[in-house]
Amino acid sequence: MPTMKILISNDDGYQAPGIVALYEALKEVAEVEVVAPEHNNSAKSNALTLHSPLYVHRAANGFRYVNGTPADCVHIALTGLLGYRPDLVVSGINNGANMGDDTIYSGTVGAAMEGYLFGIPAIAFSQTEKGWKHLDAAAARARELVQQMLAKQMVGTQPWLLNVNIPCLPAGEIKSAKVCRLGRRHAAEAVITQTSPRGETMYWIGAAGPALDESEGTDFHATALGHVAVTPLKVDLCDHERLGYWAQSVAQLSPKGQA
Ligand code: MN
């Protein structure tokens, strides 16, 4: 089997322990290259930088870093920087959970999704808690998952997008992978205000809300029990189930006499 080529990115920045651990783990099973943001870009989702130039530099360890977003990194890697098409795009390991509604905001998911949008299979990896505790165990589990998918030829021509959350546990305590639906969170906590040294009000986005739907079958539920949560994601935002309802409703809005 020819060696697979994996592009690695993240949203915590190229110096984050999570991406270093992921690189060290995956380089044992594939040819890996890192193109990642220079600075922390958490919660940047799929944002692209269109109004300022992007620069790419290479760090001493070989990682390339970009003054842009996670999606910028994967986008420029795939559209000219790499000069080849990777077989898999992997993002993470993120510092904290990306479950339920987090997936909408997550730059970790955004980087993986950019690969998926270019027709390449992609995986976003996150640890369920911040602080990098048991990171080696999470990286080993990520490697195991990728290695097994390569061996079972799940990384082929068909693109797919997986969101994977790994519980912060020692290696021996992380349970099997479970395929899950996304849970839901309550609305975010209130904005936090402070007064700047110049007397202006500063606003800080509040913390993500606690779980609203953490019932059986969700990513919240699986990881709370120690399982690795694997959620297949899609990008189509269209509400297919309600197309009929809206067709009828919008028809009622049409001016009289018009088809
Ligand atoms: Mn992050």
pLDDT at 166: 98
Contact 191, 207 (CB under 8 A): no
CA of 92: how far to CAs of 112, 153, 212, in Å?
9, 22, 25
Cα(141) to ligand 1 centroid in Å equals 19
- Residue-by-residue pLDDT tens, the chain, 259 positions: 568 999 999 999 999 999 999 999 999 999 999 999 999 999 999 999 999 999 999 999 999 999 999 999 999 999 999 999 999 999 999 999 999 999 999 999 999 999 999 999 999 999 999 999 999 999 999 999 999 999 999 998 799 999 999 999 999 999 999 999 999 999 999 999 999 999 999 999 999 999 999 999 999 999 999 999 999 999 999 999 999 999 999 999 977 656 6
249 Cα: distance to centroid of ligand 1 (angstroms): 40
Helices (H), the chain: 17-26, 70-76, 102-105, 107-117, 135-151, 219-224, 243-253
Q: Provide the pLDDT for residue 255.
A: 77
The alpha carbon of 256 and the centre of ligand 1 are apart by a number of angstroms equal to 52
Q: Give this prediction's pTM.
A: 0.95
Q: Cα–Cα distance between 168 and 112 in angstroms, integer?
A: 21
For ligand 1, the distance from its centroid to the CA atom of residue 31, given in whole angstroms, is 24
Q: Do 230 and 148 meet the contact criterion of CB atoms below 8 Å apart? A: no
Q: How far is the centre of ligand 1, averaged over its atoms, from the C-alpha of 96 (Å)? A: 7
Q: How far, in Å, is the centroid of ligand 1 from the Cα of 94?
A: 5
Backbone angles phi, psi at 190, to 5 degrees: -65, 155
Distance, CA 157 to ligand 1 centroid (Å)?
29
Supply the pLDDT for residue 156.
Answer: 83
Ligand 1 center from residue 99 Cα (angstroms): 12
- Nearest CA-CA partner of 2 in 155, 166, 160: 155
Nearest to 24 by CA among 172, 174, 143, 145: 143
CB atoms within 10 A of CB 17: 15
- CATH assignment of 5-184+212-253? 3.40.1210.10
CA 101 to chain centre: 12
Distance 217 CA to ligand 1 centre (A): 25
Q: Where are the alpha helices (DSSP H) in 40-134?
A: 70-76, 102-105, 107-117
In this structure, which amino acid lies at residue 141? R
240 Cα: distance to centroid of ligand 1 (angstroms): 31
Determine the pLDDT at residue 157: 74
Which helix or strand (DSSP H or E) is residue 175 part of?
A: strand 175-179
> For residue 212, what are the contacts with CB-CB under 8 A and spacing of at least 6?
100, 183, 184, 185, 186
Dihedral sign for Cα 35, 39, 40, 46, please: negative
- Helix intervals (H) in 127-253: 135-151, 219-224, 243-253
